[in-house]
Structure 1
Amino acid sequence: MLFFFVVISCDKGDETITTPENTKSEFISAVDISRYPEISRSNPIFYDQEGNRSDFLNILKENGINTVRLRIWVNPSTEHSGFDEVKQFSQTLKSHGFKIWLTLHYSDTWADPGQQNVPSEWEGISFASLKDSVYNYTEKVVHEISPSYVQIGNEINTGFLHPYGHITNNYQQFKELLHSGVAATRANSDTAKIIIHFAGIENSDWFFNQMTTIDYDIIGLSYYPIWHGKSLESLKTKMRSLSEAHDKEILIAETAYPFTLDWNDWTNNIVGLDDQLILPDYPASVEGQRHFIKKIKTLAKEVKNGIGFCYWGAELIAWKGSQATDASPWENQALFDFQNKALPVLGEFEIE
């Protein structure tokens, strides 16, 4: 029998939600391939690690990946990452046996700690209407796509739906908006796990202390050495302390690492310098990338409540050709080399 304890906070009258200790979830070995529907239109040819021509999704599945993370935008300028594309792609992924992890950005474009823009069709409405919009949109997504994991917002260090839901300037409104997304998820799925996602580890204690009244299941952290520090031991320590303090499962929601500092198109790459790496342990090499992800997987498994990791940008090859200036800033961090051959790092996604 499950027991739920509700403690009433004296200062704000909020409900502090704690959940009982449950059986640890299946380990999540995930990739984010949100841009693959767009990339696939260029008909790239992919090869497995033996050099055999193979289907992109089959390569992922055969290497032990069990979950695919997809971003979804409310009304993007193109169809990419919009509701229809994400729904259709999710159906394809499910037919291949993948679980679906949706990242609801609650924006028409990228949302991250520095940018949390309100969707254009929600601009200028009342706050009550905005809460309704969050609920109704989340309800539609969860009901029609039926994901296994629902991430309410993306890297919401500063809140989301700014300025209404800014975590420091409008904390109460931030909480109410978050509650709307959570309530819609719970009302439309008995099985979906809810993820709250924070970028990095600095200030994560403060952030998740603000989440005590939110009904969620999993703490998600982004970890990129270029932005979030170069100590994997600090990451492990923080994961352990956060999960124990809040009695939550925890995972690395985004990470990646380069297999080279070279490039395969003329789009500026995000990682291209030695001082952005963890040296000497993890050089920008095929083996350096593999060892980094092996360590990430091991770290997530060693944390008591650790339940997995997700590799961001697995699909981001230079799909527009070597001259493109508007294509991939990530081809040196993809899971395929410059000839679209699966890299050895894919072997680390298999869960023993």
Structure 2
Amino acid sequence: MKSGMVKRMLAAALAATLIVTSAGTTDVWAAGSEETVSVSVEETEESTENVKTASSSNLITNGDFETDASGWTFLLGGGDYSPNLKKGTDTGMTNNTTGYINIWSENEAEFVMSQEITGLSAGNYTAMLSIDGANDKTADLKFYAGDESTVLSTENGWNNWSTFKVENIVVDESGSIIIKIAGTLGAGYWFDVDDITLTKNLSDGEEKTEAAEALNTLITACEALTESDYTSDTWSALQTALTSAKAVYGDKDNKTVEELTEAKTVLQAAKDALVDAGIVDTGADGIFVQKVDGLSDDFIKGVDVSSYVSLIDSGVTFKDWNGNVIGDQEFFSQLKEAGVNYVRIRVWNDPYDSNGKGYGGGNNDLAKAKKIGKWATDAGMKVLIDFHYSDFWADPGKQKAPKAWADYTIDQKVTAVSDYTTASITELLDAGVDVGMVQVGNETNNGVCGESTWENMCRIFDAGADAVHAAGEAKGKNILVAVHFANPEKSANYATYAKNLNTYDVSYDVFASSYYPYWHGTLDNLTSTLKNIADTYDKKVMVAETSWATSLEDGDGHENTVRKGNNDTKVDGMDYTFSIQGQANEVRSVISAINNIGDNGKQTFKRQDILCQSACL
């Protein structure tokens, strides 16, 4: 490890409370096999000369299904129905890499999804959607816009999206219309739907008026800003763009739609580039960060330091801000000084083979956890113990029981988990480690300790949770228990996990999630998904792991997960550069996303917490 790495890690930790970014994302959809069906609806009395279809903004609420299916009503077989929220990057689609919803019916049933749009101006409209689905099952499905409809077909099958259109839709003075997909779904039939739009057809004159109004609205918003709130250079750039935009708007009658739109684009870019005057230079490699407002005193800001002992044993040295080599206790004290208040330490039951050779990854047994935990405690930080209930890495792809428990029945595993957890927590507490939280499993989407049914998984979770609570109470401590999952972009799955934990009465306190922007969707979805669980089940929520690469270069000869040509393609949620500043921005953004969950009024705890895994270790 290079000597400057500790500085970068500490900068990232400090960024946990001080930094901000708000870059935009771009959705990409490459259509596969396309089919357009036009339905001519009642002619309007207005002249349609020089009409431009779909030139105004989409009037549908949530027609792209990027984070959820809100705004729509779903019925299947006469009862309420919840569609599956999916993303093309997760399902292997090549013709749609964004979010969409999936509908499936086990039996033949009537299906309706609908949305009423109100407050429309009278005129002529166009509705569109994209769909793919089963080509070996039957369905009688239509796309309705008001009283008119067109037949939908999924004859091209999965990943071959077809576009269907209803044109010349007349909206009268009532200003309302119902958009819906409805019909009979055959047994086993499924389909996906995305990009539902409703747009008003504008004449040349109307399109120009709309562009001018949009520019004027932005001008007004910029004029309402206060100079002292922003840095002088970014404020000056805004004023230059604002002066130009006002000149264009003042001559709007002689400007084209393209010129009006360009002026708005330039002004919006200058507004988005404003830097808050509260931005602070941390002095750490020139990283600029901004405080996250509203964090409670007990909000967790942490790093995973599980590999620390192995790094030291390998000859790694850490240095202070002035370049002086520091010892173990000084290192942890420096973490505390930088704003870290928790460290996370993974624990494997027996990470060694029959010859005593370690499996790697830090060889994190209980002895190392005691050593690291005591340094952290003496520095004034709390400790989260991450039991994998395995001898090596446990994650959604593998949940192997420890070799000593390999042939155990579920009853024997429950007893073993309880005894092992009780003994381990008691030993840590007796060693003076301030254990504040314990994970009973790591990324347990598909299993834990070799068990894959929810009934057995929950028995393992509950055995661990009860043991943690009892061991803590025996020492006069209240230790929180977290159950940990990955893939928050699959919000429906998270809802199912939380429901199963509730059904089997698991005595946990915190619903924990991993969040890696390369794979796990947008921050808005993260906030929404965890808030739903917090509000529904009265639980604390947290991010137990997150990271961002500072470079795509290979620094040690060991191939990185994130490198050139692998996980470096920008998708939703990846709004950061591969740099130290980018890492700081990612950490701050995740903290802000969790903080945005807010107090829901039902929880025992006042604020949801976040624990960030350092990308430097």
Report TM bin, short chain: 0.7 to 0.9
Q: Find the counterpart in structure 1 of residue 546 from structure 2.
A: 255
2:472 is aligned with 1:189: yes
Q: Find the counterpart in structure 2 of residue 63 from structure 1.
A: 338
Question: Does structure 2 retain, via aligned residues, the 8 Å contact 1:277–1:283?
Answer: no
**Structure 2 vs 1, CA of residues 291 and 52 (structure 1 numbering), >3 Å: closer, same or farther?**
farther
**Structure 2 vs 1, CA of residues 46 and 276 (structure 1 numbering), >3 Å: closer, same or farther?**
farther
Return the offset for 1:206: 0.9
Give the Cα–Cα distance (whole angstroms) in 1 for the partners of residues 574 and 465 of structure 2: 43
List per-residue Cα deviations over 1:208-263 (Å, max 9, x = no partner). 1111111111110100012212x111111112112111111111110001122122
Provide TM-score, normalisation by structure 2.
Answer: 0.44
Of structures 1 and 2, the one with the larger relative CO (CA 8 A, separation 6+) is: 1
Question: Does structure 2 retain, via aligned residues, the 8 Å contact 1:131–1:177?
Answer: yes
Residue identity in the other structure for 1:47:
K
**Structure 2 vs 1, CA of residues 34 and 208 (structure 1 numbering), >3 Å: closer, same or farther?**
same
2:500 is aligned with 1:227: no
The partner residue of 1:149 within 437, 462, 465 is: 437
2:302 is aligned with 1:302: no
**Structure 2 vs 1, CA of residues 97 and 161 (structure 1 numbering), >3 Å: closer, same or farther?**
same
**Structure 2 vs 1, CA of residues 151 and 87 (structure 1 numbering), >3 Å: closer, same or farther?**
same
| 1:102-181 map, 5 Å | 102-146=385-429, 147-162=435-450, 165-166=451-452, 170-181=453-464
Any gaps of 5 or more consecutive residues in structure 1? 1-23, 315-332, 336-352
List per-residue Cα deviations over 1:61-110 (Å, max 9, x = no partner). 11100100000011111382111221222122211111010011000000
Return the offset for 1:43: 3.5
Residue identity in the other structure for 1:92:
W
**Structure 2 vs 1, CA of residues 280 and 35 (structure 1 numbering), >3 Å: closer, same or farther?**
closer
2:302 is aligned with 1:30: yes
RMSD value, Cα: 2.1
Provide TM-score, normalisation by structure 1.
Answer: 0.76
Any gaps of 5 or more consecutive residues in structure 2? 1-295, 353-357, 430-434, 600-606
Q: Find the counterpart in structure 1 of residue 616 from structure 2.
A: 334
Give the Cα–Cα distance (whole angstroms) in 1 for the partners of residues 586 and 385 of structure 2: 25
| 1:91-110 map, 5 Å | 91-110=374-393
**Structure 2 vs 1, CA of residues 238 and 171 (structure 1 numbering), >3 Å: closer, same or farther?**
closer
Give the Cα–Cα distance (whole angstroms) in 1 for the partners of residues 424 and 574 of structure 2: 44
| 1:42-53 map, 5 Å | 42-49=314-321, 51=323, 53=325
**Structure 2 vs 1, CA of residues 119 and 288 (structure 1 numbering), >3 Å: closer, same or farther?**
same
Give the Cα–Cα distance (whole angstroms) in 1 for the partners of residues 342 and 573 of structure 2: 30
Bigger Rg, structure 1 or 2:
2
Q: Find the counterpart in structure 1 of residue 586 from structure 2.
A: 292
Give the Cα–Cα distance (whole angstroms) in 2 for the partners of residues 52 and 150 of structure 1: 34
Give the Cα–Cα distance (whole angstroms) in 1 for the partners of residues 573 and 378 of structure 2: 41
Q: Find the counterpart in structure 2 of residue 283 from structure 1.
A: 577
SS state at 1:307 partner = coil
The partner residue of 1:85 within 363, 368, 371 is: 368
Give the Cα–Cα distance (whole angstroms) in 2 for the partners of residues 159 and 106 of structure 1: 11
Question: Does structure 2 retain, via aligned residues, the 8 Å contact 1:37–1:80?
Answer: no
Give the Cα–Cα distance (whole angstroms) in 1 for the partners of residues 420 and 407 of structure 2: 17
Return the offset for 1:48: 4.1
Residue identity in the other structure for 1:36:
Y
**Structure 2 vs 1, CA of residues 279 and 221 (structure 1 numbering), >3 Å: closer, same or farther?**
closer
Give the Cα–Cα distance (whole angstroms) in 2 for the partners of residues 141 and 83 of structure 1: 7
SS state at 1:148 partner = strand
Residue identity in the other structure for 2:395:
D
List per-residue Cα deviations over 1:127-152 (Å, max 9, x = no partner). 32221101100101111113210111
Question: Does structure 2 retain, via aligned residues, the 8 Å contact 1:223–1:255?
Answer: yes
SS state at 1:303 partner = coil
Return the offset for 1:156: 0.7
Q: Find the counterpart in structure 2 of residue 338 from structure 1.
A: none
Q: Find the counterpart in structure 2 of residue 14 from structure 1.
A: none
Residue identity in the other structure for 1:210:
N
**Structure 2 vs 1, CA of residues 270 and 228 (structure 1 numbering), >3 Å: closer, same or farther?**
same
Give the Cα–Cα distance (whole angstroms) in 2 for the partners of residues 270 and 51 of structure 1: 30
Q: Find the counterpart in structure 2 of residue 346 from structure 1.
A: none
Question: Does structure 2 retain, via aligned residues, the 8 Å contact 1:111–1:154?
Answer: yes
2:499 is aligned with 1:209: yes
Q: Mean Cα displacement is larger for which, 298-307 or 64-73? A: 298-307
SS state at 2:315 partner = coil
Give the Cα–Cα distance (whole angstroms) in 1 for the partners of residues 574 and 449 of structure 2: 41
Residue identity in the other structure for 1:286:
I
Question: Does structure 2 retain, via aligned residues, the 8 Å contact 1:25–1:307?
Answer: no
Question: Does structure 2 retain, via aligned residues, the 8 Å contact 1:70–1:102?
Answer: yes
Q: When the two structures are aligned, how many residues end up with a matched partner?
A: 287
Q: Mean Cα displacement is larger for which, 38-47 or 270-279? A: 270-279
Return the offset for 1:185: 1.2
